[in-house]
Chain A
């Protein structure tokens, strides 16, 4: 009997027991759909995350002071937290030594000294802000785009000028369409109250996670002032963290270890604190490995679902064969060899699994597409996510479905083939 005839026959049999077939296929459908959806989400996520991380700058190494932890957990020191003292901070002299020693690798430092959050008011208008002292290199290290004016220069720092670079959001909140350059803003941060002359405006970045909603106008934006100006306010000249901008061609991951070892020489006697580093690169790999773990977990669920689905198929084939014992006897009387009977039932199992697989692929593509667009929405308007149908996965899923049919169909089909024709014909 030809394969075509067997397939036609199998479809007829599946149609007679539609509900039963659908329930049997469910395990396969869920398993295959899960595989396809994960593949789509995983690919999209990891590619979008790595592009986002690249934009943070792969050449930057962040150095930060970290509490020593007996358990070995890597906790970031909370800003202003757990009585970190002036003596525990990274100092200019440490950084100068670092720069001298590795002048081949280091291009510049991007330094910050955070004053705190507050607001600026002008008549009835106000805007929330974070007042941050920055070195002139901050601009480049963080890929800021200036729409007007200039960023903070070394001369501003040398003269401790009261100048500020503000966001376009703050400008539109306070000045509307008027030219803000040269205007001054009245800033209140805790007990600190001062006027700053605006020298530049930067484009605020799209906010992550649902930016652009009602709350966005109240969200504080950064106001950058010269580092020395900020140091005078905070009374601190050290840094909890610093960004080391490396020269082109330097392997940031390797160099970060070198920096960490060198700076930690200053912390040998410090029983509470030490220095740690991270690079965008290492963050990418951390996020990727996290994504991989999630993928593996869902893949395991998919595998279990497929296994359960396979067992379901086997069960339904055994039931179907018992119901059709007499038919098998008749077929043998009409000249069917054991091989022909076995083939008939294996093909029937494959057809069930194949249909389940196809439905699963379609369902998976739908879930994947919807999921990608949801994640795209969360990433904000700045991200454009390309939805790619995982062609190789679709082929793989089809192959797996067929393989499940063969594997779980063989045992029942072989039972059918081995039936004694006389017993089968006599079966009531």
Chain B
């Protein structure tokens, strides 16, 4: 089953006004379960717009979208908020950790909104900190962490509710090459060892090449789909990941 099914997605701004602007012109995209894809394209091509639609932060002007087999666009906004918290994990370029709140508490936020009991939240947050190698920084505030450390906490937070898909919009954009690679390795680890479906937006061709499929956007259209260096895992690999 495909986790993401986008059909004929059109996004227009300023609808009905003289400066009406169409930034996505009928995009189709399918992302399979456990797939790690990257979206590339020049600035202003519509990558973030597409990701906001996938992440249920925005609604397309036209088209249909099913997430994990559910037609989500018919849902009211309040329901989309809940679905977003459960099924989508966001990683941003600028980390966006909540200030005055420890790393662990930040990871617990999505679970708070998902009504996970306190004990379970703490247990899971500790586990996730371990996965991203940050368990020794659990009590640190965001302003006591380096950029790379913040992004690792942010990735742990994206994993909090065990989402169906992780959406990362230029997660290495604010990091130096070395730290960027470290963060990329965490995504690869989540994909390989936890079978996570990941959509990565990046300008970095080297990073894109490590994903299974590279989607190129140009002026609101998908202009090419290439296989990346990371082969799509066969059923055997997925089985291994699940064990």
Contact = CB atoms under 8 A, between A and B. Distances in A.
Interface of A: 1-2, 5, 9, 12-13, 16, 326-327, 329-340, 421-422, 425
Nearest 7 interchain pairs by C-beta: A335-B85, A335-B113, A337-B81, A334-B110, A1-B112, A330-B96, A333-B90
B98 A327 contact: yes
A335 B100 contact: no
B101 interface: yes
For B92, B109, B110, which residue has the most chain A Cβ atoms within 10 angstroms? B109
A5 B81 contact: no
A334 B52 contact: no
A31 to B, nearest CB: 30
A331 B108 CA distance: 12
Contacts of B113: 1, 331, 334-337, 340
Interface of B: 52, 55, 57-58, 77-78, 81-82, 84-86, 90, 92, 96, 98-101, 109-110, 112-114, 157, 161
A326 B95 CA distance: 11
Contacts of B85: 334-336
Contact of A331 (B78, B109, B114): B109
A332 B96 contact: no
Contacts of B114: 335
A331 B57 CA distance: 12
Contacts of B112: 1-2, 5
Contacts, number: 62
Contact of A333 (B78, B82, B84): B84
A333 B100 contact: no
7 contacts: A327-B98, A327-B99, A332-B84, A333-B96, A335-B85, A335-B86, A335-B113
Given A337-B81, A422-B52, A331 B101 contact: no
Contacts of A326: 96
A406 B77 CA distance: 25
Given A1-B113, A2-B112, A425-B92, A337 B82 contact: yes
A228 B81 CA distance: 98
Nearest to B110: A334
Contacts of A1: 112-113
B78 A337 contact: yes
Given A1-B113, A16-B100, A337-B81, 16 more contacts: A1-B112, A326-B96, A333-B96, A334-B84, A334-B109, A334-B110, A334-B157, A335-B84, A335-B113, A335-B114, A337-B78, A340-B81, A340-B113, A422-B58, A425-B57, A425-B92
A353 B81 CA distance: 30
A13 B100 contact: yes
B16 to A, nearest CB: 18
A50 B225 CA distance: 94
Nearest to B99: A327
